[in-house]
């Protein structure tokens, strides 16, 4: 009887040890999975920030007003920095959440930057056309007015010259 109790205790302790070990194993597996998800989310968010930066740079070089885009890009960059910090201290859930928020800040960002760039290019082209066409029309107008003035002055001179 004493031996049976001892075996039961041993079995009970062994089951407790297995249960504790499986809990540790499950939390390590969950932490690794969460760490992998956070790593992936950080990489995606970093790629989005870099792409957004390049889009803003292109729009700015085209002459677009990118102030609002830069504000959003800075907010996304701040969220990404906080996500990277959380990841470095092992807070994978916060890192994942912040990386996703950073990525969401940039939804539709590149299309907005491209639209601003196209609008700036169109505006520059229109300004160029106005300047070129305006200059040509102005030159033709000055030449025409000069020619007409010369013609009328010549006729007046011929009439006054022949009468004298």
pLDDT digits (tens, 9 = 90+) for 74-92: 999 999 999 999 999 999 9
User: Phi-psi category of 90—alpha, beta or left, where left has phi over 0 and alpha has psi -120 to 50?
Assistant: left
Percent of the chain with pLDDT over 90: 44
Banded pLDDT at 158 (limits 50, 70, 90): confident
Q: Which residue has the higher pLDDT, 35 or 36?
A: 36
Q: What are phi and psi of 3, to 5 degrees?
A: -65, -40
- Please state, rounded to an integer, the average pLDDT across all residues of the chain: 79
- What's the whole-model pTM score? 0.62
How far apart, in whole angstroms, are the C-alpha atoms of residue 96 and residue 110? 22
pLDDT higher than threshold 60 for residue 19: no
pLDDT higher than threshold 80 for residue 114: yes
What is the mean pLDDT of the segment spanning 118-143? 87
pLDDT at residue 7, as a whole number:
41
Angle at CA of residue 133, ends 131 and 139, nearest 5°: 95
pLDDT at residue 154, as a whole number:
85
pLDDT higher than threshold 80 for residue 27: no
pLDDT at residue 97, as a whole number:
93
* Fold type of domain 2-124: Butyryl-CoA Dehydrogenase, subunit A; domain 3 (1.20.140)
How far apart, in whole angstroms, are the C-alpha atoms of residue 5 and residue 86? 50
What is the mean pLDDT of the segment spanning 32-37? 70
Banded pLDDT at 29 (limits 50, 70, 90): very low
How far apart, in whole angstroms, are the C-alpha atoms of residue 109 and residue 132? 34
């Amino acid at each position: 009887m004493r031996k049976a109790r001892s075996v039961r205790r041993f079995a009970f302790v062994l089951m407790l040890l297995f249960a504790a070990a499986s809990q540790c194993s499950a939390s390590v597996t969950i932490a690794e999975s969460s760490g992998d998800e956070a790593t992936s989310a950080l990489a995606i968010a970093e790629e989005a920030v870099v792409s957004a930066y390049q889009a803003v740079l292109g729009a700015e070089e085209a002459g677009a007003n990118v102030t609002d885009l830069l504000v959003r890009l800075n907010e996304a960059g701040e969220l990404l920095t906080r996500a990277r910090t959380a990841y470095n201290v092992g807070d994978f859930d916060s890192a994942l959440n912040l990386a996703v928020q950073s990525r969401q800040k940039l939804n539709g960002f590149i299309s907005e930057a491209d639209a601003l760039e196209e609008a700036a290019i169109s505006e520059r082209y229109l300004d160029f056309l106005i300047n070129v066409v305006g200059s040509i029309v102005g030159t033709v107008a000055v030449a025409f007015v000069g020619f007409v003035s010369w013609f009328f002055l010549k006729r007046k001179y011929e009439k006054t010259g022949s009468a004298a």
